[in-house]
Every structure is written in C-alpha cells, then in structure tokens.
Structure 1
C-alpha cells in the first residue's frame, strides 16, 4: 500500500474539484510542462548526489524512471496523487524503484518547482514568438527595399498630405518591429532567472547550490529572492503587456492595408490564394486575411487584461494556484501571437503595390503645396505664413478651374501672389518645381525622410540592426540547445553506472 500524501486532511479531492479544476490543469501541464518537470527532477537528483544524500547506486533507478515519464504514463488520480502533476511524477517514480530512497524529495516544495516549470515553458514560447517576429522583419525589409523609390500618396487625417513611398512607410513600420524585438530580448533576459531552490517562500534548509541548478536548467542566474521566485509572475504580465502593445501597431498597420486594398483606393493586390469572394456580389474580390489579422490582434489585449485581473489583489506570497488560473490563456496568447505573425508575413511576402495607380493619385492631388510655400519664402522672401496663404489660395482656385497640379496654371499663382502684394515672375518654374512628383520625393533632405536615398540609408541600418538581433536570438536558442545536449550527456554517464565518470553539475 502506498504512503499517504498528507496527514493534514483525511479526504481526497472531491469529484467536482477534480473534474472542473484539477484534471484540466493536470492535462495541460502534462501536455506542455512535463519536459520541464523532468529536467527539474534530474537537476535536483544530481544535487542530492552532490550533497551525499543519495548514492549513485540509488540515483540510477530514479534517473531511469524519469526517462519513462510521459503523458501516457502519468495520469491524474484523486486518491493516489491528488490529481497533481508533482505528486503524480513522484508516485510514478517511487513505483519503479527497487527499494525506497529516503532522502529523495526531502527539503523541497512544489512551489518553486512549479514556478520553475512555468518559466521554462514561458521562455521557450517567447523564443518561438521572437523567431516569428524575426522572420517578419526580414520580409518587411525585402518589400520596403523593392518599393523605396515608388511615389505614393501620404495621408494625414485621411486627407492627401505629402508624397511618400511604400518603402518609406514599410521601413517606418519595420523600425517599430525592430524596437519591439529589442524589448522582447530584454524581457527574455530578465525573466530567465531560476526559481528553483526558493522552496515554499522562504528558502530551504539543505545546502542546495542554486547557481549549479540554474546552470543545469539553462537559466542566466538564480532568482535571488526566495519570496520573489515563488510570488512574482511579472514575466507573464510583461510578455502579455508587450504583445498587447505590439497588437496595437499590427492593428494600425493592417487598417492601412485594408484601406489601400479597397476598390476606391486600389493601391495594392494580393494573390488569389490570399483573397476571398462574395457569395452574392460576383464583382467583389476581398482580402479577409487582413481582417482576420486585425481581429486576432484584439485578442492579445484581451488576454493581457485577463492576466492582469487574475493577479491583481492577490497577496505577494506563493502565487502558484493564482498563476495557474491567471495563466489559463497563456498558451493561447502565444499561439495567437505566432499565428498573427505568420499570417502577416504571408501577406508581406505576396503583397504587390499598384504603381500606376499610386502615380496617378500623386499626380492628381496637390501634394506639392508644402514645397510651393517653402519656395515662395526661400526664393522670393515672402513671409512664410503669407506664403502658406498664397499656396492655399492658389490650390483652391486651381481646383475651382479644374486645373491639375502639373503643369498647373502660372496665371492663377501670379494673381494669388499679387493679391498678397508680391510680384513673382516665372510662376511656371515655381509650379514645375513644386508639383513634380519624382522631384518631390527627393526634395526632402532631413535624416529619416521619404527621400529614396534616406530610405536606403535607413534600410541599411535596419538590416544591420536586424542581423544583430537575429544573432542575439540565435545565441539564446543555442544556449538552451547546448545545455540540453550537455544535460543528456550527464544523464548517459549516470545511467552507464561506470565509476569515475563525473555526473555533477560541473560536468555541464
């Protein structure tokens, strides 16, 4: 007969508690956190050996049993393990041992173990999400470079404003993506601290080497405060909050794409495989993928608020059960984020701008009004505010007379200047310089402007930045992969049973 798990309560969890809370949580952890629990058990087993509390001979069957722990062999049972994954793993391994190992699982708590498994799961998901963002950044750079010299109407307040290019716009969005990647890497580094060894909340009594445990599990360092290690779930809120902020950018970006893809604007196209139709109106060609992306972005803020509300008004102490409930949608948050990034990358990889249509709008609207006012001041010493009035008055009259921006009507401009008290000769040259579409792109001289040469410099700097961030991401991926391979070698040494082989954490 197995030993009871507790002497404090006499009954096992009720069927209601098991069915509605414990079993669903158990299945979630077995499906997604079990590898972390097994790695933690192995790391702590090596510490027991190092401290001389468990012999190599007794450690060997424990290590072998750990290798057999799978979702198929670990099951919730209210009577045997209280439908708790830590107890279930303990009972499973005990059942495979040839004899009891008294010191195994002494001086430890589920609190720091569960907190550690959650962080290990979170950091793996975060790395995957960063990887998807990195791929999107590369696609954005390629598309921006392709269209860096193509004139495009720019809008403020949904009104024609200034000439830009698709490359300028896309490089601006990509700069936001790069800043997000910077922050995401920092969040990873901040959260990659090991809770193990914190115990229930106040530390443990054996001389556990927390630095070695941290190293064996691929953490940057131990979480120094035992209380923070089990009480804080700030890493969840930071990730969710960052994804919520990122979702706002995605929503704004896709809103522009949706508008540009409308039949009225017709600025862009997507291939048939990324398009949709109307069941009733045969003339329609829709882009539902853009609407889906924008809709999915809203979920990220909803998940963030759910996690905030789940944690607020809870005491700063062991937060295991609260964090389980507050983290109900954590996996879904990551899944939705990665799906959103993959869908957006597919759009960017296949998006084409209708260059003829863009040029037509650029030539149709009076985007050179800003340049005209500047030239009136620079070349004819007209006070700038007066120059603004003259330029605006000319554009109003040109519209009234059905005059296009290029070549314009020099007479109307001459009259507008004269009414303001200025005699301006050769207004034809002023209009040609102001409303030339290609010239308008190169008229901007400031760093970061829509001038194609400035855009090229931005793209070059962004490529270098993206490559640096990609290396940093790969380094972190590589660190976890390397520690997993080394941990596997230590496990093989232990399982080999050969004397003289180092199975300490130093071997890792």
Structure 2
C-alpha cells in the first residue's frame, strides 16, 4: 500500500533501525489501545455526519476491535514504520474495505498527541494509586509510634526528642500534598486535543465535545494550536512527580542514616536486606540506595522534558512529541517502582526502641526546655537562660554526665555565674531532661506531643480518603468512556 505520492523510496535501514522501528515498538506497546479508542470515537462522528452507513460503520468498528500489537509490525515498505499508517493498512486489508471518506479531514498530529495524553493520564493516575497505597501504609505505621522517643536531628546533630510517628506524619502530609497537586494537574490537563487537526483546526463539523466525552476527557482543548503544539501537560506532570521524588529521597536519607551501624535505630527484614560478598559480618540495606537512585531518575526525567522543549517552534514536532515525550513514560515507570519499594520498606521496617531511647538519654536534648523553664519559673532573661543552659550542658559533657544523671550543684553554679538563681535545681533538671516528659512538653498544634501527632494523623487519614474518592471519580469517567466505545457503532447518530 502506497502511503504518499510526495516522495519515492522507503526509509533507509539506518533511519528505520535507529529511529522508526524503536518508536513503533514503543507506541505499539504503550499507545496502540489509545489509537484504537481514538479511531472508534472518530468513526462515531463519521456516522453522525452521514459519511458512512450503519453496516459500514459496524464492519469498520469490528475490524478496529481486532487490532492489537500482534496484528501490526513496523515495515518500511508497507507502512513506513509508522503506527498510524500501520493501523490504516490493517483496516484496509480487512475483508470489508473502509468507506471512501474514512480518515477524510484528519491529521496524525492531533491523534498522536491525544493518544500520548491518554497514555500519560493512565500513567499519572497509576502513580496516584501507588501514592494512595503508600499514604495508607505510612499513616498506619506512624500511628503505632506516636509515643516512641527518638532523637531528632538538625544540621547533622541531635537536637530534640521526636518520635518515628511524628517523622512519618510529615511524610503522610507530604504524600497528601503531592496527591492534591497531581489532582490539580490532572484536571488542568484533562482537555481533549482531538479535532485540532494539523495545527489550524478542521473543515468538517466535528463535534469535539462528543469526541472528548467518548474518550473520557472532562472537556475540549479550545485552541487548536495549543492542542497539537503544547506539551505543558508533560512538564506539569513531570514536575509533580519530580517534586515528590525529591521529598522521598530526603526521607530515605533519614532511613539510611538511622539504619546504619552508627545509629542502629531501625531494621529491615531479611527479604529486604543484602550482604557483602567479602565481609560476612555485614547486613546491608541496598533497597534504600535503590529507592534514592530511582528518585534521581525521576528528577532527571523532568529536566529532560523541559530541556527537550526549549527553543523549539510552537507547533507539532517529532523532537518534542516523540524524542522528548518518551521521557514522561520512563519517569512514571521509575516513580511507580520507587513507590512500590518504599511501600515495602514502610510495611517491613522495625524501629529499635531501646537504642533510640538510649540515644535520647545519652544526649542533653532537654536543653531547650531547661532554658524556657529558667526564664518562665526563675525569671532569668531568655538570652541569659540560654547561656546558663548551654554552659550547664557543656560542663556536664566535660564531666561525662548523661542527661538522665543531672547535677543540681552544677546548674546552680552556672546560674550564679550570670548573677541568677536556678531553683529548685533538682526538679528543673529532672523534668527538663526526662525523655517521656520531653515529648509532652510541646503543646502547640502540629507539635511532637503524642496527642497532637494523633490529631495530625487523623486529619491526614480523612484527607487521604477524600483524595482517594476524587481519584476514583476520574478513573470511573475513563472506564465508563471505554465501556461506551466498546458498544458497536451500528446506529445512525443524530447531531
């Protein structure tokens, strides 16, 4: 089947092997079902416009229904290794030739971007599903550790007493934030480009709103040039995924640090652990390194998608749509992989509460509380109270005193040097450096206090349920549209 009269010959071997055949394979694997859905939606419009009768539409619809990745292949001579031409050849080589007007007033440009956007929506929604699963696992684990003390770190140094539940509640909040941003992006990009033509619109009275509805879109992309030229939807989706991947890499870094032999605050099961080939005593957690490495892949693909569009003309180009656009699927695959791995870690991790409590006791993490109490209960000006508390901690460390073995005389001496009294010194020190009391010393909303963390988690669980319902509604719209397209186009449609 000749596909053009404009040029003679067929694609060269190098052009086919390096570009066309790999592109064809990618589209056959990831876009073909969307191309078929687009063709079936267009067929219903041809039927509505009276360009085909019901029997002709039914025959073509059946032929389209038989199309899958096994039915077509890249062929430089038969279809120029182009999936749109391969689809045409499959239909035209069937037992019933298509009606004469089939594909009249059509362009590959808007069909291509429509298929790409449909595939991207599917990938994006799948990432959201994985994020919802992770959010549920994170909140469940956090709820079990709202009163398990551990050191919290700033600038790489032990700073204040926190809990794993508090730390995980932050991840739950970040997860819900990512889901909200993704939902906004999904809705912003849920506009059907089909009917935009090559760039300037089409000549037949296509009902673009019906096309959008057939394909599960919320609305039509109103500007034809935006429909075929814009790839803002790719950078918006990629930015959402990259942003959350960066967040996950930071939480993973914490787990890597706390799981190392220098801390030993957490453990992973054997089925998530690794070994050293040379050092039999070692038990490694390479899964955390893999997660962080895949976070880098997700972030990198966002940069590729933006760089690939920079300085290109605002029209349909293969540089943007194919060479660059493929990175979005690659990014989604990496994102889903790291989310599944992270889910496995969250459901498998065990916190070593004894070592975390010992680490709290070894350090003087109540210094902030002591300074506050010196001001509020002893009347020592706040900056001076900071000096007194800091001086006490420095000298206690020099004497080798742990926080749970305070020295009241030392505190009195430190206060006296600043011209103040710190009484009752024994009670001030005992209560300031008490580990469990330290968790409950924070009272503000959003703090580490176990009750406040419980409130945070309850809010995040409610929000997670709401977001789950929102994403489910959008999935239902796509599913119902696909079900309608599966109904044979055999009835003449009215305008």
How many Å separate the matches in 2 of 1:353 and 1:479? 42
Alignment match, 1:498 = none
Alignment match, 1:499 = none
Provide the secondary structure at the position in 1 that maps to 2:260. Answer: coil
Contact 1:394 1:416 in 2 (8 A): yes
Contact 1:311 1:323 in 2 (8 A): no
Contact 1:77 1:83 in 2 (8 A): yes
Once the two structures are superposed, residues 433-480 of structure 1 have per-residue CA deviations (whole angstroms, 9 ceiling, x without a partner) of 211111111010111000001000000000000000111111111111
How has the CA–CA distance of structure 1 residues 503 and 441 changed in structure 2, closer, same or farther, with 3 Å as cutoff? farther
Alignment match, 2:438 = 440
Alignment match, 2:86 = 88
Alignment match, 1:226 = 224
Alignment match, 2:71 = 73
How many Å separate the matches in 2 of 1:42 and 1:57? 15
Once structures 1 and 2 are overlaid, which stretch shifts more, 447-456 or 422-431? 422-431
Q: How many angstroms does 1:80 deviate by?
A: 2.2
Alignment match, 1:363 = 361
Q: How many angstroms does 1:329 deviate by?
A: 2.9
Provide the secondary structure at the position in 1 that maps to 2:284. Answer: coil
Alignment match, 2:282 = 284
Once the two structures are superposed, residues 202-231 of structure 1 have per-residue CA deviations (whole angstroms, 9 ceiling, x without a partner) of 000000000000000000111110000000
Is 2:291 the counterpart of 1:293?
yes
Once structures 1 and 2 are overlaid, which stretch shifts more, 291-300 or 311-320? 311-320
Once structures 1 and 2 are overlaid, which stretch shifts more, 134-143 or 80-89? 80-89
Alignment match, 2:424 = 426
Q: How many angstroms does 1:425 deviate by?
A: 2.9
2:472 to 469, 474, 482: 474
Alignment match, 1:409 = 407
How many Å separate the matches in 2 of 1:5 and 1:455? 65
How many Å separate the matches in 2 of 1:419 and 1:361? 30
How many Å separate the matches in 1 of 2:279 and 2:494? 68
Contact 1:230 1:320 in 2 (8 A): no
Provide the secondary structure at the position in 1 that maps to 2:199. Answer: coil
How many Å separate the matches in 2 of 1:185 and 1:449? 28
Alignment match, 1:497 = none
Is 2:420 the counterpart of 1:450?
no
Is 2:379 the counterpart of 1:381?
yes
Alignment match, 2:340 = 342
Provide the secondary structure at the position in 1 that maps to 2:85. Answer: helix
How has the CA–CA distance of structure 1 residues 505 and 171 changed in structure 2, closer, same or farther, with 3 Å as cutoff? farther
Alignment match, 1:12 = 10
How many Å separate the matches in 2 of 1:353 and 1:290? 16
Alignment match, 1:332 = 330
Q: How many angstroms does 1:331 deviate by?
A: 2.4
How many Å separate the matches in 1 of 2:494 and 2:356? 63
How many Å separate the matches in 1 of 2:169 and 2:404? 29
Q: How many angstroms does 1:73 deviate by?
A: 1.5
Provide the secondary structure at the position in 1 that maps to 2:329. Answer: helix
Provide the secondary structure at the position in 1 that maps to 2:306. Answer: helix
Alignment match, 1:147 = 145
Alignment match, 2:205 = 207
Contact 1:193 1:220 in 2 (8 A): yes
Contact 1:232 1:319 in 2 (8 A): no
Matches within 5 A, 1:288-327: 288-327=286-325
Matches within 5 A, 1:114-263: 114-263=112-261
Provide the secondary structure at the position in 2 that maps to 1:74. Answer: coil
Q: TM-score, normalised by structure 2?
A: 0.97
Q: How many angstroms does 1:69 deviate by?
A: 1.2
Once structures 1 and 2 are overlaid, which stretch shifts more, 91-100 or 20-29? 91-100
Q: TM-score, normalised by structure 1?
A: 0.95
Contact 1:231 1:318 in 2 (8 A): yes
How many Å separate the matches in 1 of 2:451 and 2:86? 64
How many Å separate the matches in 1 of 2:319 and 2:416? 78
Provide the secondary structure at the position in 2 that maps to 1:329. Answer: helix
Contact 2:308 2:319 in 1 (8 A): no
Provide the secondary structure at the position in 1 that maps to 2:151. Answer: strand
The higher relative CO (CA closer than 8 Å, separation ≥ 6) is in 2
Contact 1:136 1:341 in 2 (8 A): yes
Pairwise CA RMSD = 1.4
Is 2:26 the counterpart of 1:59?
no
How many Å separate the matches in 1 of 2:494 and 2:460? 41
